């Protein structure tokens, strides 16, 4: 992101209210994420819960679209990637890291609850994508959240990791998949 220069700031201060409003409206029409950020920050009726619900709906829709694809495994990998991007987008809009982690856990739940049969497919892309996400989330919880919140995620993440380790493909992974979410104080 470019840093606004002093001349730019002075010129911006000289603009009238209507010119500033027109400039701002033009900017939010071009950038959907900027619009969502301003909507969250400026409107009192847009809450964190509402942004989480909207993001979860979009993630759910990404997985529903994946099911209609001809190559299910490849479509599910794309859905996982797009869903992770949606979770990151929600974090950028709200500046809330716990929201991103909650959405990532929701993605893992979607994968395991609805598509775990694809883990045994001859194609291992979906299993690998899910396992990578599952190995990333515990580190993100420890890095981003206060240690009092770690316990809230332990049982959920342990269950996901146990499910992934229960598959034959867990031995062929090219990265380390933890056996359980280690909480060390």
CA–CA gap between residue 160 and residue 169 (Å, rounded): 15
Domain assignments of the chain as residue spans, ordered by start: 17-46, 47-172
- Length, in residues, of the chain: 185
* 3-class DSSP assignment, residue 27: helix
CB atoms within 10 A of CB 139: 11
pLDDT band at 177; cut points 50, 70, 90: confident
CA–CA gap between residue 174 and residue 96 (Å, rounded): 31
pLDDT at residue 65 tops 90 = no
Closest CA relative to residue 56, chosen from 110, 118, 129, 1: 110
Contact at 8 Å (CB) between 87 and 103?
Answer: yes
Closest CA relative to residue 133, chosen from 149, 110, 167: 110
pLDDT at residue 68 tops 80 = no
Residue owning tokens 């029409």: 29
pLDDT for 107-134, tens place per residue?
A: 999 999 999 888 888 888 999 999 999 9
CA–CA gap between residue 109 and residue 107 (Å, rounded): 5
Q: Which residue has the higher pLDDT, 174 or 98?
A: 98
Average pLDDT over residues 30-38: 91
Domain 47-172: which CATH number of 3.40.1350, 2.40.128, 1.10.3470, 1.25.40: 1.25.40
Instruction: Enter the pTM of the model.
Output: 0.88
pLDDT of 175 reads 86
pLDDT at residue 69 tops 80 = no
Q: Which of 15-29, 78-92, 138-152, 170-184 has the lowest mean pLDDT?
A: 170-184
- Cα–Cα distances in Å, from 169 out to 96, 128, 130, 160? 34, 9, 12, 15
pLDDT of 171 reads 82
pLDDT for 76-114, tens place per residue?
A: 999 999 999 999 999 999 999 999 999 999 999 999 999
Contact at 8 Å (CB) between 68 and 79?
Answer: no
Contact at 8 Å (CB) between 135 and 176?
Answer: yes
What are the two backbone dihedrals, phi and then psi, of residue 94, each rounded to the nearest 5 degrees?
Answer: -100, -15
CA–CA gap between residue 9 and residue 6 (Å, rounded): 5
The helix or strand, by DSSP H or E, that contains position 47, with its residue range, turns out to be: none
pLDDT of 183 reads 76
């Amino acid at each position: 992101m470019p840093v606004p220069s002093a001349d730019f700031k002075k010129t911006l201060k000289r603009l009238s209210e209507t010119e500033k409003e027109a400039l701002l409206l033009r900017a939010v029409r071009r950038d959907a994420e900027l619009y969502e950020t301003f909507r969250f920050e400026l409107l009192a009726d847009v809450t964190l819960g509402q942004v989480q619900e909207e993001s979860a709906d979009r993630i759910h829709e990404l997985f529903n679209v994946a099911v209609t694809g001809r190559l299910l495994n490849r479509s599910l990998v794309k859905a996982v990637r797009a869903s992770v991007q949606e979770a990151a987008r929600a974090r950028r809009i709200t500046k809330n890291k716990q929201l991103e982690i909650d959405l990532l856990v929701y993605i893992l739940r979607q994968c395991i609850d609805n598509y775990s049969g694809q883990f045994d497919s001859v194609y291992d892309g979906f299993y690998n994508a899910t396992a990578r996400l599952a190995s990333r989330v515990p580190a993100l919880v420890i890095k981003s959240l206060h240690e009092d919140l770690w316990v809230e995620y332990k049982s959920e993440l342990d269950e996901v990791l146990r499910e992934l380790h229960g598959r034959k493909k867990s031995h062929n992974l090219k990265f380390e998949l933890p056996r359980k979410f280690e909480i060390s104080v």
